[in-house]
Amino acid sequence: MKITTKTLAGVLAAQVLLAVVLSRTGTDLAPTASDARLLALDAAQIDRLTIEGPDNAKVALTRRNGQWLLPDAGGDVPADTARIDALLQRAVALRQGLPVATSDGAAERFKVADDRFERRIRFAQGDKTLGTLLIGTSQGARQTRARVAGDKAVREIDLASYDLPTKPDDWLDKKLLAVPQDQIAAIELDGLKLTRNATAAVTQAVAAAGQPGAASTSPAAPTWKVESSDGGQVPNADAVSRLVSQLSNLQIDSLAGREASPGYGLDMPALSATITRTDGSTVSLAIGKRTVGDGYVVKGSQRPEYFQLAQWNVEPLLAAAKRDTLLASGASTASGTSGGSGEAATAPDPSKVRTVPLGRSGASN
């Protein structure tokens, strides 16, 4: 009995001593697995990404002067920089979590082995690999199996293979040829030149604080005038609004090629337009309907490449760019001003005229 008592006392003393040691050194302990970062990377240092998938699928991305590029897509074609930067932020923020397995067999089973994976993404700075992440099967939302190269532990992360496509076209800057709406100063197409009037302040009669007639100023939406070969025309504000919106939201689908081809249909383009920016620079745009294959091809003066457009994407633009659509049905429509002959249209009683600025008409776009 005495031996048992002494043994228990010794065990108790050891437990007390251990508790004291832990209480004094707890703040210096390493973070738990769930708190530690999965990849010890600095996103600012990463300037090369390589994403690989099954069947030798592969895409390379390179950052130069703050812009991500696709060096293997027939030249340094701009990639979607915002999307790639967001991916990097997600990757460096991943936490380890507790391992779900550590065996070689588990790596094979969950498709995170060195030679069997759903995705392998290499993070590099120049020619130096900073880290490699293997991504495998998904068990549901936020439950993708992953493993850091060189570590046997298989973990769960919130990054799936569909976040990492392996086709270069999936990483293209889709709005590469679009011109932001507020930068469009003039559009020339089909014998018309649509010119944007400078935005000005307008005075509006308002009722404020019970005092009718009080005035306030607010910036006016832009209005447009038209110059045409036959003169005396007035723009349809709603139609111009739709055209500007389509040009500013033009999205390419994929790279068609770097050399001209008769099959692109650009010898007789479905649309040929010149856009003047507010800084005075110009952009030319030509869209051809393929004579071989489906869809359309677009060539913009901003880039040397030719890009594919989907039919659903380009047809609204072609419809908006029709001459008859862009012109008002009668010169009496107060949707803008005529600039074809250099003479102003006959002005009605100002008290009865409603100037229709771009994007503020009663009709929807």
Instruction: Say what the pTM is.
Output: 0.74
Q: Is residue 326 assigned to a domain?
A: yes
Let me know if 242 is exposed, middle or buried by CB neighbors in 10 A (0-12, 13-18, 19+): buried
Q: Which domain holds residue 339?
A: 181-352
Q: Is residue 336 assigned to a domain?
A: yes
Q: Is 294 found in the same domain as 153?
A: no
Per-residue pLDDT tens listing for the chain (365 residues): 445 555 555 555 555 454 544 444 333 333 445 678 999 999 999 999 999 999 999 999 999 999 999 998 777 899 999 999 999 999 999 999 889 999 989 999 999 999 999 999 999 999 999 999 999 998 776 689 999 999 999 999 999 999 999 999 999 999 999 999 999 999 999 989 999 986 533 333 333 344 554 444 444 556 898 887 666 688 899 999 999 999 999 999 999 999 999 999 999 999 999 999 999 999 999 999 999 888 999 999 999 999 999 888 899 999 999 999 999 875 433 334 433 333 333 333 333 323 334 443 333 33
Q: Is 311 found in the same domain as 194?
A: yes
pLDDT of residue 139: 78
Q: Is residue 29 assigned to a domain?
A: no
Q: Is 185 found in the same domain as 286?
A: yes
Q: Is residue 224 assigned to a domain?
A: yes
Q: Is 138 found in the same domain as 254?
A: no
Per the structure, the count of domains in the chain is 2
In terms of C-beta distances under 8 Å and separation of at least 24 residues, what long-range contacts does 81-85 make, across chains too? 81/173, 83/171, 84/49, 84/171, 85/43
pLDDT of residue 223: 85
pLDDT of residue 35: 75
Phi-psi region of 219 (alpha: psi -120 to 50; beta: other; left: phi over 0): beta
CA–CA gap between residue 308 and residue 175 (Å, rounded): 12
Q: Is 167 found in the same domain as 187?
A: no
pLDDT of residue 294: 87
